[in-house]
Amino acid sequence: MPPANQEPSTNPPSHIDLFTIPQSFLLQIGTASILLLLITGKTTVRALESIGEASEELFRGDRLPILDFPEERETNQT
């Protein structure tokens, strides 16, 4: 057990309070970053949708060449 008549610590107080950031500034930075994240997400979704639509146009049937398939009679005979 420590002695009951111990002297208080003589360490100087830390000066961390000088470097505190105001809460309003933290709120502004947090709000701006979330808004930027939402805008970036919406823009990314729109870009991916347009890329998907463009790739669909590549594979549409009217742009592909017409292939000559054998008649059913020819396939049944072999």
Pair 57, 63: CB distance under 8 Å: yes
Buried/exposed code over 41-76 (b: 16+ C-beta within 10 A; e: otherwise): eeeeeeeeeeeeeeeeeeeeeeeeeeeeeeeeeeee
Query: pLDDT at position 74, please?
Result: 59
Q: What is the pTM of this model?
A: 0.49
Query: pLDDT at position 52, please?
Result: 92
64 vs 75: which has the higher pLDDT: 64
Query: pLDDT at position 60, please?
Result: 76
Per the document, the length of the chain is 78
**What is the tens place of the pLDDT at every residue in 12-44?**
655 565 568 889 999 999 999 999 999 999 999
